[in-house]
Structure 1
Amino acid sequence: MVKLDTTFKCPFCNHGDSVECTIFYKESLGEAKCYICSENYSTNVTPLTHAIDIYSEWNDACEAANSDEDDDGADN
């Protein structure tokens, strides 16, 4: 069986392997945190959630936030 990654590149400071994802199944909570810049992200999890799911959701949220900022400036 292939072991999935649990550390990733930070979407804020771009340090490789600086983001660690932790899953608390009892609390239905997943957290990604960069130990370099201390940025973090939390989300609800299910028993099927893996670290890559939390990291991917964080990246999607960052892209959505950046897209919203771009849309705000489009009224020029």
Structure 2
Amino acid sequence: MGKRKKSSRGPVKKQREVLATNFKCVFCNHETSVGVKIDKKAGVGNLHCKSCLQNFQTGVNYLSQPVDVYADWIDACDAVAKETAGTSTAAPASAHRQPQQPHSRAGPAPGEKYTAEDDGFIDDDDADGEADLADED
């Protein structure tokens, strides 16, 4: 006598991750305040923040998702930020400010001036002390 044959189970359906339609606003930093609506017939994606009332509109195609509109908005914000940073002129250094010299950890003694001779000088007194101890054996 044999065992009964078990019926096989059907294949398990893989659950698809749902992409978000609400996002964090870049300007006001509110979570889930940015909503995206896509009009595929018109080929337009609209983004709107409920808190700070920011709006953004971009072109979409039949494959576009809300996350794509949000990514376009982030890219546009970065482009504007780089453009404004590139056009702004850096403030000239004040004439009364002297360039700072690198200082050692301890620094010069009170009343002592930092000179060009001090550049690149490494004070290694500890190594000399260890060498003296090694000779005593």
TM-score between both structures, scaled by the size of structure 1: 0.94
Residue by residue over 1:18-67, the C-alpha shift from the partner in whole angstroms, topping out at 9 and shown as x without a partner, is 00000001111101100111101001110100000000000000010000
Higher strand share: 1
AA of the residue aligned to 1:67: K
Counterparts of 1:14 and 1:56, CA distance in 2: 16
- Counterpart for residue 47 of structure 1: 62
- Corresponding residue number in structure 2 for 1:10: 25
What is aligned with 1:72?
Answer: 87
How far apart are residue 75 of structure 1 and its match? Answer: 5.7
Structure 1 residues not aligned, in runs of 5+? none
CA distance in 1, matches of 2:89, 2:63: 39
Would you say 1:24 and 2:39 are equivalent positions?
Answer: yes
Counterparts of 1:74 and 1:16 in 2: how far apart (Å)?
A: 34
Percentage identity across paired residues of the two chains: 36
Q: 1:17 aligns to what SS in structure 2?
A: coil
* TM-score w.r.t. length of structure 2: 0.53
SS in 2 for 1:30: strand
RMSD after superposition = 1.0
Give me the whole-angstrom Cα distance separating, in 2, the residues matched to 1:14 and 1:75.
28
Point out the structure with max Rg over C-alpha: 2
Residue 86 of structure 2 aligns to which amino acid in structure 1? D
Structure 2: how far apart are the matches of 1:22 and 1:36? 17
Residue in structure 1 matched with residue 77 of structure 2 by the alignment: 62
Structure 1 position 12, deviation (Å): 1.0
Runs of 4+ in 1 over 4 A off after TM superposition: none
> When you count helix as a share of all residues, which structure comes out higher?
1
User: Which AA in structure 1 matches 2:62?
Assistant: P
